[in-house]
């Protein structure tokens, strides 16, 4: 059987045109990402919904429908309310510090100086180290007896003597006092997220046209005015993205609080993610753990929508 040259060319064009259709190509390219989201996020989320409406436990993982009883029990739990308040405080304070410090670091690292590569390498180290390993290191540094931070403070005369600025005691007991424990958790989390935020901010600063800054400098604009009227508006979408990623990481982080304080002392550093783990996994109440975890969904969804909208409005302006 033979085909005319014209027929062969027509069939090839038809096949090529079918492959080159924008709609089909777009669906084909996005399909792996959709499958990944469904497999890694959609299915666990659906299972969490089912568990939250049941009385399932680790000893008896059945799906006996109990309605919204688990959500009501969670709202009536004082530990849950404390965890919710701690989560917002922990997330907002740590992210404000991350954004401010990352901007200072990014601005400094954009300058030319000797050892610039080494400074960038040291800034990135906390992000490359496993979070559990890094937090264990901080657990030693914040030890109530052998803390090297307390040793330095004692050597500087700030601790351990009558009239010392931080008090006459030999140790501060970083993880044993409510205020110091929360400050310690925030410190470690800021140390963890600072490298990522710094890299994002450096990318934003690098995208600003140099001639625009040079023209403003020639016109006599002060450094503060250049930052307020040029740098911040042009990098606001990048800052929004860094803030969004930081909030997501903070709201869902378990490791820092679990390793350092396990929510103590007396739940003063308990957050929703750790309380979900303690209630659902260690406590064996899968239904309650699932219900508590679902309180994070509207919070994260709302934050994501708000920050993305702010970023889009900034780009339009």
**pLDDT given for residue 316 in this prediction:** 45
Say what the pLDDT of residue 181 is: 94
Read off the pLDDT of each residue in 172-192 and give the average, rounded to a whole number: 92
Q: Identify the pLDDT of residue 38.
A: 78
Q: Is the Cβ–Cβ distance between 196 and 204 less than 8 Å?
A: no
Q: Is 278 part of any domain?
A: yes
Instruction: Specify if 284 maps to a domain.
Output: yes
Q: What pLDDT, on a 0 to 100 scale, did the predictor assign at position 317?
A: 47
pLDDT surpasses 70 at 313: no
Residue 27 within a domain: no
Distance in angstroms (rounded) separating the CA atoms of residues 132 and 39: 26
**Residues forming beta bridges with residue 121, ordered by sequence position:** none
pLDDT at 8 over 60: no
Q: 25 vs 279, which has greater pLDDT? A: 279
> What does the alpha-carbon distance between residue 60 and residue 283 come to, in Å, rounded to a whole number?
13
pLDDT tens for 189-238 read: 999 999 988 888 888 888 887 777 777 777 777 777 777 777 878 888 78
Per-residue model confidence as pLDDT tens digits over 117-153 = 888 888 888 888 888 888 999 999 999 888 899 999 9
Torsion of CA 41, 45, 241, 99, to 10 degrees: -120
- Dump pLDDT digits (tens) for 52-76: 888 888 887 677 888 889 899 999 9
Q: Is residue 22 part of a domain?
A: no
Mean pLDDT over 10-31 rounds to 65
How does DSSP classify residue 177? Answer: S
Establish if 49 belongs to a structural domain: no
Query: Quick one: average pLDDT of 237-250?
Result: 82
Q: 171 or 16, which is more confident?
A: 171
Q: How far apart are CA 248 and CA 197, in angstroms?
A: 13
Q: What percent of the chain has pLDDT over 70?
A: 90
CATH of the domain at 219: 1.10.3720.10
- Inside any domain, residue 156: yes
Region 165-174 average pLDDT:
87
Average pLDDT of the residues of the chain: 83
Q: In the structure, what pLDDT confidence band is assigned to residue 48 with cuts at 50, 70 and 90? A: confident
Predicted confidence (pLDDT) at residue 89 exceeds the cutoff of 90:
yes
CA 204/CA 238 separation, integer angstroms? 6
SS3 string, 65-105, reads ECCCHHHHHHHHCHHHHHHHHHHHHHHHHHHHHHHHHHHHH
Give the domain extent around 138.
78-316
Domain count, the chain: 1
């Amino acid at each position: 059987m033979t085909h005319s040259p014209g027929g062969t060319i027509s069939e090839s064009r038809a096949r090529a045109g079918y492959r080159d259709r924008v709609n089909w190509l777009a669906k084909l390219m996005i399909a792996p990402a959709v499958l990944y989201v469904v497999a890694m996020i959609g299915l666990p989320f659906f299972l969490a919904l089912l568990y939250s409406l049941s009385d399932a436990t680790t000893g008896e993982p059945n799906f006996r429908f109990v309605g919204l009883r688990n959500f009501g029990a969670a709202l009536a739990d004082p530990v849950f309310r404390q965890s919710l308040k701690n989560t917002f405080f922990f997330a907002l304070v740590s992210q404000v510090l991350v954004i401010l410090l990352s901007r200072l670091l990014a601005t400094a690292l954009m300058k030319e100086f000797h050892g610039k590569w080494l400074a960038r390498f040291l800034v990135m180290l906390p992000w490359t180290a496993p979070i559990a390993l890094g937090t264990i290191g901080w657990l030693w540094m914040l030890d109530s007896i052998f803390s090297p931070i307390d040793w330095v403070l004692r050597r500087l005369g700030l601790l351990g003597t009558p009239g010392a600025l931080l008090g006459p005691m030999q140790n501060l007991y970083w993880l044993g006092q409510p205020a110091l424990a929360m400050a310690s958790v925030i410190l470690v989390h800021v140390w963890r997220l600072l490298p990522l935020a710094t890299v994002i901010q450096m990318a934003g600063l690098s995208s600003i046209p140099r001639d625009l800054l040079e023209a403003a400098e020639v016109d006599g604009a002060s450094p503060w005015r250049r930052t307020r009227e040029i740098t911040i508006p042009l990098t606001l979408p990048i800052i929004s993205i860094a803030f969004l990623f930081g909030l997501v990481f903070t709201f869902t982080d378990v490791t820092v609080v679990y390793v350092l304080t396990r929510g103590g002392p007396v739940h003063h550093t308990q957050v929703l993610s750790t309380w979900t783990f303690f209630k659902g996994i260690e406590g064996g109440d899968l239904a309650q753990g699932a219900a508590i975890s679902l309180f994070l969904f509207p919070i994260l969804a709302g934050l994501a929508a708000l920050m993305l909208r702010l970023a889009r409005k900034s780009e339009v302006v």
